[in-house]
Amino acid sequence: MSTPNVTVVRACLRGGAGGSPTAVVLEDGAAPGEQERRRIAVAHGSSHAVYVRHVGDQTELRFFTAEGELPACGHGTIAALALLAAQHGGAEPYRATLRAGGRVFAGRAERVGGMLTAAFDPGLVQLREPTEEERAVVLPTLGLAPHKAGPHVQIAGVGRERMLVPLPTRAAVAALRPDLDRLRAACDRFGLLGAYVHSEPSPDGTLAARIFAPSIGVPEDLANANSTACLAAHLAGRGIHRIAVDMGDVLGSPATITATAGPDLRVELSGTARVVMDPPAHRPA
């Protein structure tokens, strides 16, 4: 089945370059089946595909990787908003009522120079301490001893849970070489999406992160906005309310995601994007 309305959007750019290529499909007719939805992301050189359908006054988003459907995808939401804003045109910000993963939320996007900036509410973040078993099983797959990851390891979710793993420096994050087969088995065992490893934030709230999510068919994601929302909610408890997270450097496509969190764990995610006509050369490892 052919799907002509596929556009690649590079989401979460840094300085107007890099970003995570995301296949955005505007559905205005017969919807493709699940197998075709899963295939499209890979065929267009992206880890994720987002399917957009207007239903009444709402815009429905569905997210797929090669492994299947996800309840949420932050950079996919940014990509969809950017494309919708580009098609809408006009000087005023584009605003939409979005529906995904069983919830309804607001999103907006506007043109800033030659780029599109999008922002949305990813939903309430759930945080908990990992169990000793989760620490003991997951952390060694990253090459970390359970006691070396520091006291701030968290399990967090907006939708599906993932493990947040702090390391002291950007260099330590960049040096990680996880055992992806063991990590997948560990995440499958505990129902986790993956492991989001991050450096300690600098005084201005900037830091680096990488996410490994082989359980959803993404060995390493170029940019993961929902995991950044989880981290923002966690750091808000330490008095840090705005962060800018650099990702994708190890994969050769630098990306940055910004998140602002309030004391109620509500977060706003934002990122810049660029609509491109052709699939990029990068393909997920």
Domain ranges in the chain are 6-120, 126-270
* 6-120 fold: Diaminopimelate Epimerase; Chain A, domain 1 (3.10.310)
The predicted structure's pLDDT at residue 176:
96
Is the pTM here over 0.75, yes or no?
A: yes
pLDDT attached to residue 4: 56
CA distances 211 to 26, 85, 180, 204, 208, Å, are: 28, 28, 11, 22, 11
Q: What topology is assigned to 126-270 in CATH?
A: Diaminopimelate Epimerase; Chain A, domain 1 (3.10.310)
- Coil, helix or strand at residue 23: strand
Distance CA 114, CA 102 (A): 34
Query: Which single residue is written with the structure tokens 């906005």?
Result: 225
Q: What per-residue confidence (pLDDT) applies to 277?
A: 59
Retrieve residue 274's tokens. Answer: 């660029």
User: Looking at residue 34, what is its pLDDT?
Assistant: 78
Q: Hey, do 6-120 and 126-270 end up sharing a CATH topology, with the first three levels equal? A: yes
Cβ atoms 222, 19 nearer than 8 A? yes
Which of 73, 75, 46, 78 minimizes the C-alpha distance to 62?
73
What count of other Cβ atoms lies within 10 Å of the Cβ of residue 87? 11
Average pLDDT per consecutive 10 residues, the chain (285 residues; last block may be shorter): 74 95 86 80 84 95 91 94 90 93 94 92 93 95 83 90 96 97 98 96 96 94 95 93 97 97 87 75 39
Q: Could you tell me which residues are beta bridge partners of residue 256?
A: 246
The pLDDT assigned to 278 comes to 47
